[in-house]
Amino acid sequence: MKLPLENPVRVIDCLKSLGLTKYEALVYIALLKVDSATASEIYEISGVPRASVYTVIDQLLKKGLVSVSQSAPKRFAAFPPEDAIARLMGRIEGDVQYTRDSLSLMYRERTSPGSGCEELIWNIYGIENIKKRLIHLISGAKQEIRIVAHPHIITPDVKQKLISMANHVRVEIITPHWSEESPSPKKMKVYIIKHPDISREIDKVKDMMAGGVCIIDGRSVLVFVGLDEVDAVALFSESEGFIRFFVRYYNLIFDWAKKAI
């Protein structure tokens, strides 16, 4: 394994990731190689332009990475790497905490009652992309999953995810067909509604119009139509009006499903 100073570019990049500029990293590394140095000596051993040396030293002093003597001319020395890295990490952790608190405050203000929100509705195209989003939504459920869907949407991987989630949340599924290889979890309810007879004139468009609705925790909705890469399209939203509309739609289908049993 190579020693760090045998790969100076990587060491400089690492110091930059900890908040130093390239010149600050060069000066700090140069000072580690000597007991102390004047500004002129730092220029000679670091490769930093003479006009930039004092500015860089001032920044390193503020960051607590070097010390300065009261002699004339002034001499500068680097603090040990253990102390320097600890100071840099402390600054980063402080910035992280400040950023987290500030962003959290912004988010709470946006989501607080009465703050208002934009009614965003997202488009998703292609059946594979729709299935990926469906599985992602199902995986994030905390309380309940409600789905009314064409059986072609409930592919084996979607079905397996639903079964695994039913061990933790309530799952309702309304579909024309459901093959059950093994007993379903107690929290899973499957309601079968057979398709009505379709006239020959519109039979060719039945797959294009097939689709469904998935409601997660009453807080997000994915509604989709079509079964192939060309025609399949979905809308996803967490807006209140969108959710309210499709929750009412789902409840109508659900009541119908229960009566059909």
State how far the Cα of 161 lies from the Cα of 171, in Å rounded to an integer: 11
With a threshold of 0.85, does the pTM exceed it? no
**Average pLDDT of span 130-150:** 92
Rg of the Cα trace of the chain?
31
The CATH topology of domain 121-260 is: Endonuclease; Chain A (3.30.870)
State how far the Cα of 164 lies from the Cα of 166, in Å rounded to an integer: 5
**pLDDT tens digit sequence for 33-70:** 999 999 999 999 999 999 999 999 999 999 999 999 98
3-state secondary structure 124-138: EECHHHHHHHHHHHH
Highest CATH level, class, for 4-88:
mainly alpha
Domain ranges of the chain: 4-88, 121-260
**What are the angstrom distances between the C-alpha of 60 and each of 4, 29, 78, 232?**
21, 12, 9, 58
Q: Compute φ and ψ for 10, nearest 5 degrees.
A: -65, -40
Q: Give residue for tokens 């950023």.
A: 99
**pLDDT tens digit sequence for 212-224:** 899 999 999 999 9
